Structure formats: structure tokens, C-alpha cells
Amino acid sequence: MKKYLILQHPGHNRVYYNLSGQLALSELEIATRRLDADCSDSKIDELEKVRYLSFTTEEDITDHDLEILSRLSFVFAIFRLEQREDQTCLIPISKVDYEYVDNKVSSLMKYAGKTNELFTKMMINVGLLSSDFDYNHKIQLLDPVAGRGTTLFEGVVYGFDVTGIEIEPKSVHETTVFFKKYMEAERFKHTSGQRQVSGQKKSEAIYMQEFEYARTKEEFKSDQLRKKLGVVTGNSQEAANYFKKNSFHLIIGDLPYGIAHGNKGAAKSSSITRNPSELLSLCLPQWHQVLKKGGVVVVAWNSFVVSRQKLSEIFTDNGFEVFTEAPYDGFEHLVDRSIKRDIVVARKK
């Protein structure tokens, strides 16, 4: 038997680190289902008063396995455990360098209500590892409640083509201004522009701010290597009007759940809603159309406001298969006294 230990990323704040052990374990258990090696006994472990996550295998993990493990949100370092005479030794294993863009891109912007980048990365991993696709596909990711782009930027780190929908023009402006400055500072070859995606009349026009970019001029010339980021200033309830059917492999979103989060309710209403069940009831028919078969939706919400069972029923009613069994029930955690965050993971049949 082989045993592997993963040192958990310390995160960007102590509170999230202390809460994230169970979240990390759930993410790991989902990942082990996609490994070549036959894994067992995934757990939170302790060695010399240091916390790790561990798992055992019958054989050594493969290069493919290491590509998956290196991308997990909580992974700081990976070790193989060996017993040598009377000593326990940790043999470090080099992680795969997968980042298309430096991961600092998602942490540079600071604002109230921002989701922890590691939690966002976890949602992306859980979504992709639960889908019919993998990291080697040319992944198209949609964040239908994009805010100021944390999910988009985490997708950029992975080299995905990413698209957001955001109802607040100010947030779209701040996201695109930041990304343009980042491209310039990092000397990426890029172009930017605006394209109309919906509306027959000028007064009804909906636009997407979009970038095409690559690390070098040579990569930029290739349709396969050139990357894309776009943000639509619009309403997520109209997603099927903005994009073609079966466009996206993943839909990842942090639903409105706090003082700094809100989205429009019913189509004719100008009020802001923080009710995730109302928002999902309006949006899921549209999201279902633009998601590929075998693609996955992952949304985070405040479970103090509405139950997991209620949200699962809404997904099921709209043609999705909801993952309800362990480890998918292990992501709920307290953010503060008014927010208990959880995620729902659902695949398009």
C-alpha cells in the first residue's frame, strides 16, 4: 500500500483555513474518483501536530493523477509517506505547473463581499471533476452572477475561455478595466472590444466586453491557443438570448446571499433579490439551454435562507441530475452569524 499526504494551503485568512478541512476532504474525495490509481481511506490526518489530508493507493499515482491533484484548491505540497527503519519520512512530489496566468490575478482586486479565491477554485474543480469533461478539454466556463470577476479570473488561471453575466454596469467596467491593465502589465498579447449579443433596437441592445489574449504573439495567432474572456452587461435570466445552445462545459456562480450581494428578481421587477430559490427558478431554464450535455452547474448559496432540499428540487424540475450523496453533502460551512454557505452540484442529463 502507498500513502500520500497533502499539506493544506494556509489560505488568505485564518477563519477560512480553520473551516476548510471538511471542504478540502470533500473536494479530495471527488477528485480521487477520477484518478488512475485505486484510492481509499481519504481522511484528515495529523503528523507531528501538523494537519494533512491523506489517502492510500495500491500503486503509485500516475502523471495524470498528479495533474488532477496539483489543481485542487487546498493543495500546498504533496508527499509520499515512507517508513525507513525507525523513521517516518515525507518524500516531496513536485506539483504540475498548470497555471496559464499567475494565480495572483484573482486576488489583486479588493472589495467588500468578495468570495475567497480558494473557495471559488474549489467550486470550479468540483464542477469539472463531476462533469463528463476534464482539464484537457478546451473548457468554456460561464459565471452567470459574475460580480467583479473572481470566478472568471480563476478560470483564466486554468487557461479556460471564460464568460460572465453581470447586471451592474459599474462592476463590469471595473472588471474589464482591471483585466486590461493586468494584460498590459504582464505583457500578454491581447485585443479588447465590445460586441452586441442581444436586442433588436438600440435601446434594447445588450453588449459583451471581450478580450482575446495569449502569452506570446505566436500563440495569439493560433485559434487553439488564443484565450478569451468576456463579460455581458445583462440579466442572467436572459442567458439563452446572449449565447448559443450547448455553449458551456461549466456554469459556476456564487448566488446573492449577503449585504454586498444582490440580483434582479422577476423579469419586470427593478428590485434586488437575495432569494436564491427565486433567482434559480427564473434562471435555470436559460442555463440549461446554454450548458452542454454532461456539463455541470455549481452554485454557492446561504443555506440559512433556503434549504438544500428546496434548491435540489428546483434543479431537478429543470432537467438536472443533482449530486446529493457523500461527499457532495460535505461543503456546508459557517461564514458569519447570518451566512451559512453551501454548494449544489448538478449535471445536465
Statement: residue 271 has pLDDT above 50 = no
72 shares its domain with 112: no
- Around Cβ 117, how many Cβ atoms within 10 Å? 22
230 shares its domain with 200: yes
Angle at 68 between CA 287 and CA 110, to 5 degrees: 60
Residue 98: inside a domain, yes or no?
Answer: no
Distances (CA, A) of 211 to 48, 82, 189: 48, 48, 10
Residue 148: inside a domain, yes or no?
Answer: yes
50 shares its domain with 120: no
Binned at pLDDT 50, 70 and 90, residue 12 comes out as low
Residue 172: inside a domain, yes or no?
Answer: yes
Distances (CA, A) of 93 to 6, 71, 98: 10, 14, 15
Statement: residue 267 has pLDDT above 70 = no
83 shares its domain with 145: no
Q: Which residues pair with 43 in a beta bridge?
A: 54
The span from the CA of 265 to the CA of 295, in Å, is: 26
Task: Write the Ramachandran bin of 45: left for phi over 0, alpha for psi from -120 to 50, otherwise beta.
Answer: beta
Helices (H), ranges, 166-211? 169-185
179 shares its domain with 316: yes
Residue 151: inside a domain, yes or no?
Answer: yes
Of the CA atoms within 13 Å of residue 60, those in its CB half-sphere come to 7
State the pLDDT at residue 269.
Answer: 44
Of 38, 60, 93, which one is at a domain's C-terminal end? 93
Interval 81-110: pLDDT, tens: 998 888 889 999 999 999 999 999 998 988
| More confident: 75 or 17 | 75
The span from the CA of 346 to the CA of 290, in Å, is: 14
What is the domain count for the chain? 2
Of 62, 93, 124, which one is at a domain's C-terminal end? 93
Q: What is the DSSP letter of 167?
A: S
323 shares its domain with 182: yes
State the pLDDT at residue 9.
Answer: 85
Interval 114-170: pLDDT, tens: 788 999 999 999 999 999 999 999 999 999 999 999 999 999 999 999 999 999 999
Statement: residue 60 has pLDDT above 60 = yes
Residue 257: inside a domain, yes or no?
Answer: yes
Q: Which domain, by its residues, includes 160?
A: 103-348
CATH number where 136 lies: 3.40.50.150
- Around Cβ 62, how many Cβ atoms within 10 Å? 13
Find where cell 478541512 sits: 21
Mean of pLDDT over the chain: 92
Interval 318-343: pLDDT, tens: 999 999 999 999 999 988 888 899 99
The span from the CA of 289 to the CA of 348, in Å, is: 10
260 close to 133: Cβ distance less than 8 angstroms: no
